[in-house]
Amino acid sequence: MSAAPKMPVYTTLPSLPPRGPLPPTIGVILPVARTNMITNPSFETNTTGWAGYGSSGFSPARTTTRVYHGAYSAFCSGGAVGDSVGFNGVVLTAGTTYVVSLKIFSFIGSTFELQLQSTANAVLVRNRFITQPYRWKWVYLYYTEAANATRRIHLNSVLGDTFFLDGVQCEAITDGILSVTTYIDGDQRGLLVGQQPPPYGWNGTPH
């Protein structure tokens, strides 16, 4: 009878494998206190605050077909080349840096732009990217505001292709940590039962 193989004993962390299903990296999420300025970030009960822009304008409709956060996302269809869907009414403060992020799903690899616009439709900053078929993609951009002003967040379909949208976030970076954070909304729960104060909350009526 052969002896059972001995399990290795490590006094330090072993080296990461050179190949495998995941890249050889380790990540740690550091908690910071942030506020999501999007009052309807996940379309859980309606599409209030969202509208289509452009020649046809994408029409956001609540759906459970493809979802990243919560129970619903928005299916954006009916638009033409260069049209977008946008959220109106994010009030930004001069001298503050913001990061805007969202999740997008498309059935084909297509070109999109995440934009921050003025209420006069001027593009202030943009992030152009290409989606991967049948996969959610997390995209974001940074912007330092030059004036106290109301801005619009737009997701532009450069080629006019339909898409799903979820988990939209706009957060002010006032803690010195120049980084996008994971998605925040008041529906989330912490890791501890009965945690006080609650790790997430709503300012006002949920959704």
Taking only the tens place, the pLDDT of each residue in 35-89 is 999 999 999 999 999 999 999 889 999 999 999 999 999 999 999 999 999 999 8
For residue 163, the tally of other CB atoms under 10 A from its CB is 24
Q: What is the pLDDT at residue 163?
A: 97
Q: What is the pLDDT at residue 198?
A: 84
Section 2-22 average pLDDT: 61
Provide the b/e sequence for 94-133 (b: ≥16 CB within 10 Å). eeeebbbbbbbbbeeebebbbbbbeeeeeebeeeeeebee
Q: What is the pLDDT at residue 28?
A: 76
For residue 172, the tally of other CB atoms under 10 A from its CB is 15
Q: What rounded mean pLDDT belongs to the chain?
A: 89
Query: How far, in whole angstroms, is CA 136 from its chain's centroid?
Result: 10
For residue 79, the tally of other CB atoms under 10 A from its CB is 23
For residue 40, the tally of other CB atoms under 10 A from its CB is 17
pTM: 0.84
Q: What is the pLDDT at residue 97?
A: 97
The encoded tokens of residue 30 equal: 């550091």
Question: Is the pLDDT reported for residue 205 higher than 90?
Answer: no
Q: What is the pLDDT at residue 148?
A: 97
Q: Which residues contact 13 (CB under 8 A, 6 or more apart)?
A: none
Question: Is the pLDDT reported for residue 1 higher than 90?
Answer: no
